[in-house]
């Protein structure tokens, strides 16, 4: 049986190297590449995107990888698995969502399944019930999810614009549209909403720090 080529992606080297060490002992896997930062993706059967530190800076990689003919399947490896996140992942062309609580043997099995075109989901052994009360996100585009995740990570509109190579006015439009679409009034509520669906982490969000009320209450920050 041919080995499955797997690529691991994360912006934190310590995290992705730990994942590499965990999977390197499986003979049916060939770790093709370890991506840190903006490295170009080589041809691979499965791209496993680790979202440690939040999904904000990895959403653009997800989109480009889904559209890349050299990448077979793109799977999200995350702390939080909710039904809305799974629905969104399926709708934008990802091949699965896997909890970080999943044991290594099960993770390898899911990677094998994803490599054959199956959509895979794992909640991990600690919690076999999926949070179905989280808000719906399947109607968000990749770009909207990207803006939301960056906003949830505490980025200002100017910082988001610089990251996404868009104008500040365009970002303001996206933020206003997001506020209406997800029914929130300010950036703190948007950050909490993002955390509930798995697009942000409450322990990694500068937006939750104390700030002037007028900065928090509108889309112009």
Phi-psi region of 124 (alpha: psi -120 to 50; beta: other; left: phi over 0): left
Q: What is the rounded distance in angstroms from the CA atom of residue 120 to the CA atom of residue 122? A: 7
CA distances from 88 to 110, 112, 145, 155, 218 (A): 19, 22, 10, 23, 26
pLDDT in tens, the chain (221 residues): 689 999 998 766 766 788 888 898 899 999 988 877 666 788 999 999 876 544 555 666 677 788 889 999 999 888 778 777 788 888 889 999 998 888 889 999 999 999 999 999 987 654 445 554 455 565 787 788 888 888 887 889 998 888 777 899 999 999 999 999 888 999 888 888 887 776 765 444 333 333 333 344 456 76
The structural domains of the chain, with segments of one domain joined by +, span 4-122, 142-216
Whether the model pTM is above 0.75:
no
- How confident is the model at residue 212, as a pLDDT? 36
Residue 21 has a CB neighbour count (10 Å cut-off) of 10
Residue 1 three-state SS: coil
CATH architecture for the domain at 142-216: Orthogonal Bundle (1.10)
Token pair for 197: 């669906």
Sequence-ordered list of residues with C-beta below 8 angstroms from that of 172, at least 6 positions apart, any chain: 157, 219, 220
CATH of domain 4-122: 3.40.50.2300
* Main-chain dihedrals φ then ψ at residue 74, nearest 5 degrees: -120, 120
> Pick from 83, 139, 77, 85: which is nearest to 108 by CA?
77
């Amino acid at each position: 049986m041919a080995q499955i080529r797997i690529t691991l992606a994360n912006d934190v080297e310590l995290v992705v190297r730990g994942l590499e060490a965990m999977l390197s002992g499986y003979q049916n896997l060939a770790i093709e590449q370890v991506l840190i930062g903006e490295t170009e993706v080589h041809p691979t059967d499965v791209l496993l995107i680790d979202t440690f530190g939040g999904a904000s800076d990895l959403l653009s990689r997800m989109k480009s990888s889904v559209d890349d003919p050299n990448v077979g399947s793109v799977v999200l490896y995350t702390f939080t698995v909710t039904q809305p996140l799974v629905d969104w992942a399926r709708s934008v062309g990802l091949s699965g969502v896997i909890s970080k609580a999943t044991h290594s043997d099960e993770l390898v099995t899911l990677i094998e399944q994803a490599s054959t075109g199956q959509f895979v989901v794992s909640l991990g052994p600690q919690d076999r019930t999926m949070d179905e009360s989280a808000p719906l996100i399947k109607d968000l585009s990749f770009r909207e999810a990207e803006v939301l995740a960056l906003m949830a990570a505490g980025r200002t509109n100017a910082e988001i614009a610089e990251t996404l190579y868009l104008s500040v006015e365009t970002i303001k439009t996206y933020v206003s549209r997001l506020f209406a679409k997800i029914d929130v009034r300010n950036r703190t509520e948007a950050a909490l909403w993002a955390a509930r669906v798995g697009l942000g982490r409450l322990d990694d969000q500068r937006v939750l720090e104390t700030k002037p009320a007028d900065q928090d209450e509108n889309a112009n920050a």
